[in-house]
Amino acid sequence: MPEYKAPLRDIKFVTEEVLDFHGHYAKLPGAEEATPDMVAAILEEGAKFAERVLSPLNRVGDQQGCQFKDGVVTTPEGFKEAYQQYVEGGWPSLSHPEEVGGQGLPDSLGMMVTEMIATSNWSWGMYPGLSHGAMNTIELHGTDEQKQTYLTKLVSGEWTGTMCLTEPHCGTDLGMLKTKAEPQDDGSYAITGTKIFISAGEHDMADNIVHIVLARLPDAPAGTKGISLFIVPKHNVDDAGEVADRNQVSCGSIEHKMGIHGNATCVMNFDGAKGFLIGEPNRGLNCMFTFMNAARLGTALQGLAHAEWALQNSVAYAKDRLQMRALSGPKAPEKAADPIIVHPDVRRMLLTQKAFAEGGRALIHYCSMLVDTMKRGTADEKAEADELMSLLTPIAKAFLTETGFEAANHGLQVFGGHGFIAEWGMEQNVRDCRISMLYEGTTGIQALDLLGRKVLMTQGATLRRFTKIIHKFCKEHKGDKRVKSYITALDKLNGEWGDVTMKIGMKAMRNKDEVGAASVDYLMFSGYVVLAYFWARMAVTAQNKLDEGTDEVGFYTAKLQTATFYYDRLLPRTRAHAEAMLSGADNLLAMEEDNFLFLNA
């Protein structure tokens, strides 16, 4: 049966040995309590919760799904109790400010715990995950009263939150949204409209749900510049701050979907529900954007989660399942056949998962260091972190979910026909993963954000901020023969990243559609370069450890071997992406709409 073990050794390698989190915490204002001992203790407790409580509920969630009856959603058996344990453990408050009852620990420490929760049971993890989105919004844009009323309850975990953006006719194109907000005499607003795809919109795990809702004021300009943001609680809150009567918001139905069955995806009906404006009128989208990067990083994590889960279970199966002999002669002659891990192609699938999972882990935790700095650094540090994060977010979100889906499929494939059967859990992993390329902005939208908004609109300045970091790293290690093959390839590719950007920029000046035509291949190219940078860094760290002398020779050697695999077998994909993205928009735009299909001839 599938199971999850927290990869504490690898989290430690990435965060401590490669990214030097302890050095980072030592300098980060207000992170004094995040001592090595404290971090280790938190990770150990988080690992226990993920392994013992959440992991066993992962399959239950898929099988039972959420049930909907008369507006009430019942979550799968055990979900509610697990949430109770989560609240009692103090987990919701970990990285929120002390003023609202939080523990004030760095976001990046929260992300390490979130990685374990996410991987052990993604569907369950979405309930607290959505709360974090709501908390960030109120934290940044709410009034003191709103913080006191709502934020403290979210931070304690007594209540959960949602983000209500999508409507039936608009997902990507929020400028089209129709939900209305009419001002009332008491200063509140009456919210009316229908929202769809609202994760955790209704459930039985907490006493109240705080919906963050995008809606239009009566005099609002059309399009994205006329959208405001509101708090709409499921239950109104009385003067004592406790749950009072029901607000006019209700769940109309839940979706039947491919995966993440344990999470309720709701249609939410607002029928003149009482809401409270957050931030300034008509600036709702701007308020959203301030924490969009953090939310997208949370979805990027889903790619890593499913890759790690696939890896753990398919490695175990590949060592256990006996089938055929190695072409080069029996490796386990005493057995009826060799374990399939001897076959090179099975190893190719395992190493692909490993390269994406462990490379993705480095990228995710690097980004979450940037989040720390964005919140707590000096003005200069904040500006730099913000710029890097704005570049890396669409890459992390789209590249890690695309490669996470590939990894999940390799995991299934290692199981042969058994991979298709529910009880092995590999097909659930693929189904659960599939949503990650869609929500929080599809891969296509991330790619436009990257190439259009982040790279070309800044005349490449944002990109250069990161390519310079790579360049500096390559320069530092240029003379190091031990890692020469990585550094040479990375340096070349880093230069090419700039070159192809320039070429596409030139084309785009003649025809803006060149941006959309190149965007996804550009994003995937960028993702492979970014992961190559982290694999080179990991290789340097591992090589140093080996040279210093270590009793973990196998662990560090495997890092070097995985880096080599990544450079030899995955990085060549940049050739295909480069050629495709430079082929121009004509091969996409030439066809008349009506000529895509001829079915009635």
Decide whether 87 or 326 has the Cβ nearer to a copy of itself.
326
Q: Report if residue 77 touches a copy of itself, rule: CB under 8 A.
A: no
Q: Which of 202, 427, 440, 514 is labelled catalytic?
A: 440
What's the min distance (Å) between Cβ of 284 and a copy of itself?
18
Q: Report if residue 489 touches a copy of itself, rule: CB under 8 A.
A: no
Q: Which of 200, 210, 520, 540 binds a copy of itself (CB under 8 A)?
A: 520
Q: Which of 17, 505, 516, 544 binds a copy of itself (CB under 8 A)?
A: 516
Q: Report if residue 552 touches a copy of itself, rule: CB under 8 A.
A: yes
The residues in 245-274 that bind a copy of itself, with binding defined as CB under 8 A, are: 255-259
Q: Report if residue 341 touches a copy of itself, rule: CB under 8 A.
A: yes
Q: Which of 248, 323, 544, 550 binds a copy of itself (CB under 8 A)?
A: 323
Structure token pair of residue 13 = 């390698």
Task: Return the amino acid letter for 63.
Answer: Q
Helix H segments across 149-222? 152-156
What's the min distance (Å) between Cβ of 171 and a copy of itself?
5
381 catalytically annotated:
no
Decide whether 95 or 313 has the Cβ nearer to a copy of itself.
313
What's the min distance (Å) between Cβ of 518 and a copy of itself?
8
Q: Report if residue 220 touches a copy of itself, rule: CB under 8 A.
A: no
In SS3 terms, 527-582 reads as HHHHHHHHHHHHHHHHHHHHHHCCCCHHHHHHHHHHHHHHHHHHCCHHHHHHHHHC
Collect contacts of 88-95 with beta carbons under 8 A, ≥24 apart. Answer: 89/45, 89/49, 91/46, 91/49, 91/128, 91/157, 92/128, 92/131, 92/154, 92/155, 92/156, 92/157, 93/155, 93/156, 93/157, 94/42
Compute the half-sphere exposure of residue 231: CA atoms within 13 Å on the CB side of its CA: 34
Q: Which of 431, 454, 477, 545 binds a copy of itself (CB under 8 A)?
A: 431
What are the distances in angstroms from CA 189 to CA 218, 497, 581? 11, 49, 48
Residue 522 phi/psi, 5-degree rounding, is -65, -45
Please check whether residue 300 is in contact with residue 118, taking contact to mean a CB–CB distance below 8 angstroms.
no
Structure token pair of residue 521 = 């291949």
Q: Report if residue 22 touches a copy of itself, rule: CB under 8 A.
A: no
Question: Which listed range, 66-74, 112-120, 272-280, 570-578, lies at the site for a copy of itself (CB under 8 A)?
Answer: 570-578
What's the min distance (Å) between Cβ of 302 and a copy of itself?
13
Q: Which of 344, 379, 479, 481 binds a copy of itself (CB under 8 A)?
A: 344
The residues in 582-601 that bind a copy of itself, with binding defined as CB under 8 A, are: 583-585, 587-601
What are the distances in angstroms from CA 339 to CA 92, 153, 324, 418, 565? 43, 52, 8, 16, 21
Question: Which listed range, 113-121, 294-302, 312-320, 370-378, lies at the site for a copy of itself (CB under 8 A)?
Answer: 312-320
Please check whether residue 86 is in contact with residue 160, taking contact to mean a CB–CB distance below 8 angstroms.
no
Q: Report if residue 319 touches a copy of itself, rule: CB under 8 A.
A: yes
Residue whose tokens read 């957050």: 278
Which residues, 6 or more positions from 592, have their beta carbon under 8 angstroms from its beta carbon?
none
The residues in 29-58 that bind a copy of itself, with binding defined as CB under 8 A, are: none
Distance separating alpha carbons of residues 412 and 2, to the nearest angstrom: 12
Q: Which of 247, 312, 368, 467 binds a copy of itself (CB under 8 A)?
A: 312
The residues in 432-451 that bind a copy of itself, with binding defined as CB under 8 A, are: 434-435, 437-439, 442-444, 447-448
Active site amino acids = 440
